[in-house]
A and B are shown apart, each in its own frame.
Chain A
Amino acid sequence: MSPSPKRPRRRRVDAHKLGDRLRELDVLLVCGSGGVGKTSIAATIALDEAMRGRRVCVLTIDPAKRLAQAMGLDRLDDRERKVKLPAGAADGGSLHGLMLDPKTAFDRLVAEASATDEERERILANRVYQQVSQSTAGMQEYMALERLYELDRGGKYDLIVVDTPPASHARELLESPHRMLRFLNGRSLRWFLKPGAKMGKFGLKALGGSGGPVVGILERITGAQMLRDTTEFFESVEGIIGQASDRIKVVERMFASPKTGFLAVTSPERESVEQAVAFWELLEERHYRFVGTVVNRIEPLAPGSLTSQAELEALDGIDTSFATRIVAAQVDHAELARRDGSRLDELADATGDALTISVPRLPRIVNDLDGLRELAPFLAT
Chain B
Amino acid sequence: MPARPRIDDAALPLGLQPRTVFVTGKGGVGKSTVSAALALAWRDAGARTLLVEIEGQASSAAMLSNKKIGYNATPLGEQLCALRITLNDALKEYARLRLKVKLVADRLVSNPIMDQFAQAAPGFRELLVLGKLWALASETDDRGRPKWDAIIVDSPATGHGLGLLGMAGVIARMFPVGPIHTQAKAVDAFVRDPARVGVVLVSLPEELPVTETLELHDELRARGIDVVASVLNGLLVDRFSDAEAAHADELIQSSDDLDPALRHALETVLWEHMRCTDQATERARLEAGLDLPSAVLPYMFAPQLTREHIASLARWFMPAGQERLHAQLAGADDGPAAAAAVHAGEAGPA
| Contacting residues, chain B, for A329 (C-beta < 8 A) | 239-240, 265, 268-269, 272
Whether A222 contacts B179 by the Cβ 8 Å rule is yes
CB pair B271 A363 closer than 8 Å: yes
Contact B301 A336 (CB under 8 A): yes
Is the CB–CB distance between B122 and A131 below 8 Å? yes
Contact between chains at A211 and B180 (CB < 8 Å): no
Per-residue contact bits, chain B 280-306, to A (CB 8 Å; 1 contact, 0 not): 000000000000000000000111101
Surface stretch bound by A, among B9-17, B256-264, B311-319: B256-264
Nearest opposing residue in chain A for B339, CB measure: A325
**Is A367 touching B207 in the complex (CB atoms < 8 A)?**
yes
A207 touches B107 (CB 8 A): yes
Q: Are A302 and B113 in contact (CB under 8 A)?
A: no
Chain A nearest Cβ from B6, distance in angstroms: 36
Bound Cα distance A173, B174 (Å): 29
Residues of the A chain whose Cβ atoms lie less than 8 Å from the Cβ of B181: 223, 225
A316 to B306 Cα, complex, angstroms: 39
**What is the minimal beta-carbon distance from A245 to any residue of chain B, in angstroms?**
16
In the complex, number of A-B residue pairs with CB atoms less than 8 Å apart: 201
Partner of B123, one of A131, A207, A330: A131
Query: Are B261 and A127 in contact, with the CB atoms below 8 A?
Result: no
B304 x A304 contact (CB < 8 A): no
* Smallest CB separation, A200 vs chain B (Å): 15
Residues of A within 8 A of B121 (CB): 128, 222, 226, 230
Contact indicator A325/B271 (Cβ below 8 Å): no
| CB-defined contacts of A257 to chain B, threshold 8 Å | none
Question: Of the candidates B157, B170, B251, which one forms a contact with A131 in the assembled complex, judged by CB atoms under 8 Å apart?
Answer: B170
Q: Give the complex CA separation of A168 and B57 in angstroms.
A: 8
A365 within 8 A of B: yes
Query: Are A224 and B260 in contact, with the CB atoms below 8 A?
Result: no
A267 to B266, CA, bound (A): 25
Q: What is the 8 Å Cβ interface bit string for chain A, positions 188-210, against chain B (1 contact, 0 not)?
A: 11001000000000001001100
Check: B119 CB closer than 8 A to any chain A CB.
yes
Pairwise interchain contact B265-A332, C-beta atoms closer than 8 A: no
Which A residues are in CB contact (< 8 Å) with B176? Answer: 225
- Whether A322 contacts B113 in the complex (CB less than 8 A), given A132-B122, A302-B261, A311-B259, comes out as no
Mostly, the B contact residues are: helix
The answer on a CB contact under 8 Å between A312 and B104 is: no
Instruction: Check if B302 sits within 8 Å of A326, measured CB to CB.
Output: no
A230-B120, A307-B262, A329-B272 given as contacts; is B113 within 8 A of A223 (CB)?
A: no
Q: Which residues of B contact A333 (CB under 8 A)?
A: 268, 271, 301
Whether a CB of chain A sits under 8 angstroms from the CB of B28 is: yes
Q: Is the pair A303, B175 in contact by a Cβ cutoff of 8 Å?
A: no
Q: Please indicate the chain B residues that have their CB under 8 angstroms from the CB of A306 in the complex.
A: 261, 265
B178 touches A166 (CB 8 A): no
Contacts of B27 in A (CB 8 A): 33-35, 166, 168
* Bound CA span A220–B343, Å: 58
CB neighbours (8 Å) of A328 from chain B are 239, 340, 343-344
24 contacts across the A-B interface (CB closer than 8 A): A1-B303, A33-B27, A34-B27, A34-B157, A131-B122, A166-B157, A186-B116, A204-B101, A222-B121, A223-B180, A234-B120, A267-B28, A307-B264, A321-B336, A325-B337, A328-B344, A329-B265, A329-B269, A333-B271, A335-B302, A339-B303, A363-B274, A364-B278, A365-B208
**B-binding residues in A (CB < 8 A):** 1, 3, 33-36, 64-66, 127-128, 131-132, 135-136, 166, 168, 182-183, 186, 188-189, 192, 204, 207-208, 211, 214-215, 217-218, 220-226, 229-230, 234, 267, 270-271, 300, 302-307, 311-312, 315-318, 321-322, 324-330, 332-333, 335-336, 338-339, 363-365, 367
Known: A35-B29, A189-B120, A226-B180. 12 other contacts (CB 8 A): A35-B28, A135-B122, A189-B117, A221-B180, A222-B117, A229-B175, A303-B260, A304-B261, A307-B259, A307-B261, A326-B268, A328-B340
